[in-house]
């Protein structure tokens, strides 16, 4: 079995989360889809994983994920497991992918909402037919065309387990529901020491004095080198990635997933924070998603509940979406920053590489200095963000590569329409 993961035409709907990463690298409840696909190889269910992503991410895919773009299929009579990169990385999805990898017959699972192919098994016979039928068609396009004509997989256990992120807030909603299962999976399959009831750690974890730890609603999982300061409150389920530092008097609760090398402080609830992001000062963050290399200034808070206690609507560009969620904070793209005492209103979407001051009462485009409270909103050039990136990387002893600098340029060009709609820089 050969796994081919692909980004489809709907991937941009997940912006700003997907501006700086392939969709398969979105963290949800501490797991990523790419983790599941590599696990299938490690378990012997597949021979290899390849992925087709947007062109500007191909170099980062190769260097950061050790994944190549697909070039040939069906070698040695292998079948192909085609997997949409927007799949939610739930424990149930891993089980379904294991089953699909062993399925002898061809079949496809299609999203009822937009008819997108979510997963498909394509056998050697169909793969040979593709080469004859469409020799000049790009490989993934040819596979998707073939998948669309395959018989539908009707096993309800499989179809219920395979679901895709449709909008960015789906990541937060899925995260909240999945955290208990995800933490139990880590405990069952990982080599953790149970330091105390419900607290599972790897080597090098330090927990400060006078902590208050509650695990009635789920466990707490701490990876290598995590440092917990004194007087911290932790209420599971909580996952803390390797080498993350939790400052004194932090309150982390109700389903939080922190990536590796994060600095965290204040109050955080039901949120996802990707690696290398700092929220180390006082202030509330709830029901939110933060990308990587973000810094929240002291006193930054977001609202995750309307004054009316009603369901929250959210805007993505010109599209207004009823989320059906009562609690929803913000979605913030990579490299964005807030000044001290910034207040982010309920359900706001913040692009990549922006800097914010004051109250954030509307969505913020990428690459802007946003201080609308003070009557100032201006363009933030890519070269400024490249210099900022270099200084941030140096503080974490991360080498800035040419591809990292190029990512800043590529994202700037790809987000031009966000600023044009606000007449920023035009």
pLDDT value of residue 77:
76
Q: Quick check: is 273 in a domain?
A: yes
Residue 308 lies in a domain: yes
Q: Do 121 and 206 sit in the same domain of this protein?
A: no
Q: Say if 173 falls within a structural domain.
A: no
Note whether 136 and 195 are same-domain residues. no
In a domain, 399, yes or no: yes
Are 91 and 216 found together in one domain?
no
Q: What is the CATH number of the domain that holds 112?
A: 3.90.550
C-alpha to C-alpha distance for 385 and 387, rounded to whole angstroms = 5
CA–CA dist 31, 406 (Å, integer): 27
- Residue 137 has a pLDDT of 80
The reply to whether 113 and 155 lie within a common domain is yes
Residues 258 and 128 in one domain: no
Residue matched to tokens 């995800």: 182
Whether omega before 237 lies within 30 degrees of 0, making that bond cis, reads yes
Residues 197 and 330 in one domain: yes
Residue 217 is given by DSSP the state T
Domain that holds residue 7: 2-166
| CA-closest candidate to residue 392, choices 287, 262, 276, 299 | 276
Does 175 fall in a domain?
A: no
What is the model's pLDDT at position 236? 96
Instruction: Name the domain boundary from 166, 197, 228.
Output: 166
- In this structure, are 149 and 225 located in the same domain? no
The reply to whether 20 and 145 lie within a common domain is: yes
116 shares a domain with 223: no
Q: For the chain, how are helix, strand and coil distributed in percent, rounded to 5? A: 30, 25, 45
The verdict on 242 and 122 lying in the same domain is: no
Same domain, 259 and 311: yes
One domain for residues 314 and 198: yes
Alpha-carbon gap, residue 107 to 119, rounded angstroms: 9
Give the integer Cα–Cα distance in Å for 164 and 125.
28
Predicted confidence pLDDT, tens digits, the chain (426 residues): 999 999 999 999 999 999 999 999 999 999 999 999 999 999 999 999 999 999 999 999 999 999 999 987 766 678 999 999 999 999 999 999 999 999 888 999 999 999 999 999 999 888 888 877 767 788 899 999 999 899 999 999 999 999 999 999 999 999 999 999 999 999 999 999 999 999 999 999 999 999 999 999 999 999 999 999 999 999 999 999 999 999 999 999 999 999 999 999 999 999 999 999 999 999 999 999 999 999 999 999 999 999 999 999 999 999 999 999 999 999 999 999 999 999 999 999 999 999 999 999 999 999 999 998 777 899 999 999 999 999 999 999 999 999 999 999 999 999 999 998 777 765
Nearest to 342 by CA among 292, 332, 234: 332
* Residue at which a domain ends, from 166, 201, 216: 166
Domain harbouring 245, CATH code:
2.160.10.10
Last residue of a domain, one of 135, 166, 197: 166
Helix or strand (DSSP H, E) at 420:
helix 416-421
Report yes or no on 183 lying in a domain. Answer: no
**Residue 13 lies inside a defined structural domain of this protein:** yes
Q: Is residue 321 part of a domain?
A: yes
Domain count, the chain: 2
């Amino acid at each position: 079995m050969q796994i081919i993961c692909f980004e489809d035409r709907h991937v941009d709907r997940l912006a700003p989360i997907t501006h700086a990463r392939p969709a398969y690298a979105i963290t949800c409840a501490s797991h990523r889809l790419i983790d599941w696909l590599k696990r299938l190889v490690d378990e012997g269910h597949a021979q290899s994983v390849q992925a087709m992503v947007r062109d500007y991410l191909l170099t980062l895919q190769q260097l950061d994920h050790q994944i190549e773009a697909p070039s040939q299929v069906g070698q040695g009579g292998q079948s192909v497991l085609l997997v949409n990169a927007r799949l939610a990385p739930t424990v149930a999805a891993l089980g379904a992918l294991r089953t699909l990898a062993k399925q002898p017959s061809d079949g496809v699972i299609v999203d009822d909402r937009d008819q997108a192919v979510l997963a498909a098994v394509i056998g050697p016979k169909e793969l040979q037919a593709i080469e004859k039928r469409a020799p000049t068609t790009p490989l993934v396009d040819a596979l998707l065309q073939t998948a669309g004509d395959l018989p539908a997989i009707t096993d309800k256990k499989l179809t219920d387990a395979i679901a895709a992120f449709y909008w960015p807030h789906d990541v937060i909603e899925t995260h909240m529901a999945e955290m208990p299962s995800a933490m139990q999976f880590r405990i069952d399959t990982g080599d953790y020491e149970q330091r105390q009831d419900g607290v599972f750690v790897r080597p090098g974890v330090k927990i400060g004095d006078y902590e208050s730890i509650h695990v009635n609603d789920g466990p707490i999982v701490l990876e290598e080198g995590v440092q917990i300061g004194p007087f911290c409150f932790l209420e599971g389920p909580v996952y803390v990635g390797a080498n993350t530092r939790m400052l004194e008097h932090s309150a982390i609760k109700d389903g939080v997933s922190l990536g590796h090398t994060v600095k965290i402080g204040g109050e955080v609830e039901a949120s996802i924070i990707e690696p290398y992001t700092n929220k180390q000062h006082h202030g509330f963050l709830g029901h939110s998603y933060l990308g990587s290399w973000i810094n929240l200034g002291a006193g930054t808070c977001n609202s995750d509940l309307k004054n009316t206690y009603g369901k929250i609507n959210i805007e993505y560009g010109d599209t207004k979406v009823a989320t059906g969620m009562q609690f929803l904070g913000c979605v913030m793209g990579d490299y964005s920053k807030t000044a001290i005492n910034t207040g982010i209103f309920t359900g706001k979407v913040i692009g990549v590489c922006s800097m914010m001051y004051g109250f954030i009462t509307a969505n913020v485009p990428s690459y802007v200095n946003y201080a609308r409270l003070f009557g100032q909103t201006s363009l933030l050039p890519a070269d400024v963000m490249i210099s900022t990136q270099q200084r941030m990387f140096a503080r974490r002893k991360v080498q800035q590569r040419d591809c990292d600098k190029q990512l800043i340029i590529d994202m700037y060009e790809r987000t031009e329409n966000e600023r044009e709609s606000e007449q920023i820089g035009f």
